[in-house]
Amino acid sequence: MPTKQSPTGRSVPEPPSPALTRAGPHVGHRGALTKAPRNARIVNASRAGEPAQDIAPNHGLSVERIRQIVAAAEGLERGRPEAFDYLCRRTRDLLERQGWTTVPLVRDAYLAVPGGERLLQVPGFGRKSLREVRRWLWLQMGDPRFEDLDSPNAAGGSGAPGQTMRSNG
């Protein structure tokens, strides 16, 4: 779970964004951790020409559920606007004012400059919004480039980028 600095200087757990924990195609961060790779394998098998009847038994799902997963992936690639329902209102409005109204457009804007710095140039768009967009892109696409870097299990250390740990000794 991500952490933030409390007024006393201690690191305290930060609750997940309400936009990411709402019930929907992805139910919170933990559900996406297990389902995104499975869904990616299902979509890849479908694109390779394997029929849904052959894919379903491999994943313990019904044929109808396989069709739903493949249809949802195709909808994301078309940039369906419903995907934006999982962002908080403020972040969604900031992205839409820039003309980034589809998942691929937001992805391209994030990847244009390393670390999503292009998004930070938008007035009113800060680190918290950037973290929300990164998590949202990870949930929408399952792309490891957007994996939760703030997680204590993520590679690269425990602090926020650019921060150093202080010792009291």
Note down pLDDT in tens along the chain; length 169 residues: 455 566 676 766 655 555 444 444 444 444 444 566 788 888 888 888 899 999 999 889 999 999 888 887 776 666 556 778 788 889 989 998 999 988 889 999 999 988 889 999 999 999 999 999 998 888 877 777 877 666 555 444 444 444 444 545 4
Paired strand residues for 4: 12
Instruction: Note the pTM of the prediction, 2 decimals.
Output: 0.45
Q: Domains of the chain: which residue ranges?
A: 28-77, 81-146
Q: Going by C-beta distance under 8 Å and a sequence separation of 6 or more, which residues neighbour residue 125? A: 91, 94, 119
Query: Which residue in 144, 143, 83, 91 sits closest to 120, CA to CA?
Result: 91
Mention every residue, 6+ apart, whose C-beta is less than 8 A from residue 31. Answer: none
